[in-house]
Amino acid sequence: MSNGISMERVEEIIDGYGCQVHHLIAIMQDIQAEYKYLSPAVLERIAEKLGVGVAKVYSVATFYENFSLEAKGKYIIKVCDGTACHVRKSQPIFNAIREYLELEGKQKTSADGLFTLETVACLGACGLAPVVTVNDQVHSKMSPELAIELLEDLRKEDAANG
């Protein structure tokens, strides 16, 4: 299927919840855990299997910030914007990364599909502020320069691995 999503696997997850509509959120979480995002085809399949309108599924998926309807990059960068990180200048880090990745408007994922940039409310690591995570690996006491360096390293690493 499209973008590496296996519909058989999606159906397996839905069946695992007995096709019950009250498990909608759990189903979407499980699918997203596996594929990082929910494609339109996935939402349509969920609606069909649960016997609800696809607009209802879309409604729930767009209500929660946690669900992503867009394919994400290989590296998901989360810049913490909790109170501690915010006062220790997380915003310039975010802006620097945005500029480095040439993101425009509401765009979150770089054109090469390598990076996705997000903010997160608080990671609970305030002593290490400002914090950036890459695929859940924590990088502490960041600055705009360190962040760009980190991204360049990741890019090189990715190129080396082909």
Q: Does 74 bind another protein (CB under 8 A)?
A: no
Closer residue to another protein in complex, CB, 106/159: 106
> Judged by CB under 8 A, which of 57, 80, 117, 123 binds another protein?
57
CB of 83: closest distance to another protein in angstroms?
A: 21
Alpha helices in 17-136 (DSSP H): 24-35, 40-50, 54-63, 83-87, 90-100
Give me the residue label for tokens 């109170």.
83
Alpha carbons 125 and 70: distance in angstroms, whole number? 28
Which listed range, 18-26, 57-65, 124-132, 146-154, lies at the site for another protein (CB under 8 A)?
Answer: 57-65
Q: Is 70 helix (H, G, I), strand (E, B) or coil?
A: coil
> Judged by CB under 8 A, which of 20, 62, 135, 140 binds another protein?
62
> Judged by CB under 8 A, which of 56, 86, 88, 89 binds another protein?
56
Q: Does 43 bind another protein (CB under 8 A)?
A: yes
Structure-token pair, residue 160: 């080396």
Alpha carbons 76 and 90: distance in angstroms, whole number? 17
Q: Does 105 bind another protein (CB under 8 A)?
A: no
Alpha carbons 134 and 77: distance in angstroms, whole number? 5
List interacting residues with another protein (CB under 8 A).
40, 43-44, 47, 52-59, 62-63
